Structure 1
Amino acid sequence: MTSSTKAGGAQPSGTGANNYQFALVALTSLFFMWGFITCLNDILIPHLKNVFSLNYTQSMLIQLCFFGAYFIVSLPAGALVKRISYKWGIVVGLLIAALGCALFIPAASYRVYGLFLGALFVLAAGVTVLQVAANPYVTELGAPETAASRLTLTQAFNSLGTTIAPLFGAFLILSAATGDIATATGQQLETLRLEEADSVRFPYMILAIAFLVLSAIFAALKLPHIEEEEVSSEGGERASAWSYRHLILGAVGIFVYVGGEVSVGSFLVNYLHEPSIAGLPESEAAHYVSYFWGGAMVGRFIGAYAMRYIADGKALAFNALLAAILLLVTVFTGGKLAMWAVLAVGLFNSIMFPTIFSLALKGLGRHTSQGSGILCLAIVGGAIIPVIMGALADAFTIHMAFLMPVLCYIYIFYYGLKGHKVV
């Protein structure tokens, strides 16, 4: 970071609009990859639930370990990115993610649940560094007034990854075993469990190679250098990012949004397997998960255009309200109506993360890296809320557990209306 910036937004050193576009195109590959790797957890959960005979709460430890890494790694990652630049933060994140994927190979060999959780934690640590570097980088590469639209567009490619991942996982992971664990006994059961544990090796080896290739590419790329403003453009100069109320409320928004989205996505395969909903086999239900994440992708492409004309806060509140209504329909009905209502939630999830993120970073100036670290810290909601929802599903029913994310969307509705305003 070598250049100074002009008032109203950061400017890359010695670069023009073409450099902006090139950098944004390069960054979309990262958004795709971490969307893919995150959504693959939705396939890993029912898979490992079978392999290790887990209940809902135990299976949600997968999300606890994955998203718990955000809580532990985000603030150090923010400090690292501030020190070594956005570009080299991205390279470090890719290398750590590659290591995490590679650790799935010994985890499958020893068939120990704790090793799978450890591999997921390392993988998530790398993704955390990527998020801390890439999200604010996108908001800085252009005019501040179009930051939410720009981040929504790149997040659309994140959703492309989440749409493809269930199909990839269903084919390479859920379809790998040659029998039914639920009906197997004795040596046959042990053989099937070994087969299912081994089935994760190949897909995660491919992902490890992909992350290594991307790290080499980004190390070689010449990307614009960004230096954050010395003085915040709104709200005056403050001691740290923690002094901004709208940032803290935005962090809560990220917490409940990620928690709500991950909870819904994590339970979809098991939910669609329920006889009262669709009664689908797990491998077939996994294909329907793509509708959930595909809706988010479509919504983000639409939102990237529409939010150039609609106030960010109003768009956020509208989507949160409709997501809450759809979940209430899911809880209080059954069959195809409940199934399609919960899948449609993805469409309205679409703009939430990038909009909350960009609204929360507005006016932070030189505290933007720290603010990004705080927001990524809040992604730990994806670790905590699914475990609570799992406990509710065990204590009551999986049906009633969907009331948990309704509360999350009610808060996001408030943030879109009032909480995002800079004071």
Structure 2
Amino acid sequence: MDLNTLASGLDTIWVVLSAAMILLMEGGFALLEAGFVRQKNAVSIIMKVFVDITFGALIFFFFGFALMYGKDAAGLIGTSGFMMGGDLTHINLTITHDTYWLFQCAFVIAVISIVSGAVAERINFHAYILFTIAMTGLIYPVAGHWIWAVGGWLGSLGMIDFAGSAVIHALGGFSALAAAIVIGPRIGKFSENGTANIVPPSNLPLASVGAFILWFGWFGFNSGSTLSATNGSIGHIAVTTMLSAASGGAACILFTMLRYRKADPPMVINGSLAGLVGITAGCAFVSDAAAILIGAVCGIAMVFATEFLESKRIDDPVGAFAVHGVSGSIGTLAVGLFAQPELAGKAGQGYSGLFYGGGVSLLGIQALGLITVIVWGFATTWIAFKLINRLVPVRVSRDEELVGLDVGIHGVPAYSQEHDFIELTQLTLDKR
């Protein structure tokens, strides 16, 4: 066996294992969101995650991957690779195209899961399936092509987004914001005078376990994006990922103790996730110290963003926008400030941020790319929800929402004794 064959085999194993770690994050999303919402809506969360994985994978196979990574047309869209056929020779990697598809499929499933949390407890299941098709088949692939594909116009300008702070998290976060605005707040979330009412999470231990699973999977998310088991930057990427997550959580602990006079558990959970989101773009290009700073800024910004949404009467039950949209934006711009040429060189690119002699050039490119992705994600999601609403209602009925989506939509509660199940099932049958 020659060295090239051995390296290719190692790279394949590395990428497949990284993809599996990212797919495990769906378990994290399921537990996190189920823990944050009320007990009567836990099953609906699980069902949406299954939609993400099943419909998301199939749609990305049929045409999403082609639009994202197919042969470039004017820097805007891919035109080959439908059902993994046609010309994909421009994707020049040491792994097979099938292996690459699997890794990218794990990413696209994560994007739609971000939106899932923002519309929890009131979205119509049929409408969610249709939006999943739109997100995984068009919205995300087109934005991804611009930045990650060979010939994409933002990537050609020099935009850096190593593992997706912009492509995945800013896009998903601002899509989540648009979805939350269109669908409206949960019944009883806001009083007539505009003040927000507390809707207590059903199971914070469950949510924390979900966050830990997401944290674990993020090492596959970031380090796996090297696409090579022999890349010397893998260890550094893992360290910056760890430090930013720890810093985001620690900053939230201290900040909420000062602001609320107690450490706020949901905020702390989201603070660590915000740190993970923020470091995703620059994990290969920034120093350990910069990673700590990025995580702390993202953790604190997440708190303010959560409060801001509530002041505007926008209901985001799990903090999808604050965690992904805001932190993804901060992380994307942070690359333009903190990217170091010696680190970027190890990862295959030689860019410098503003604080390391690169001037404002990279920062400007990052800002342009970020604004483009934000506008695209928000606008297309808004349009998609409006169009879907013409086919099926995007929101469940008032009665279904009050009873809970588990029984009202899916016909089964998440937790019940036998007599409770019989009573709730009869209620469902009566409604029909």
Q: TM-score, normalised by structure 2?
A: 0.31
The higher-RCO structure (CA 8 Å, 6+ apart) is 1
TM-score (norm 1): 0.32
Choose between structure 1 and 2: higher helix proportion: 1
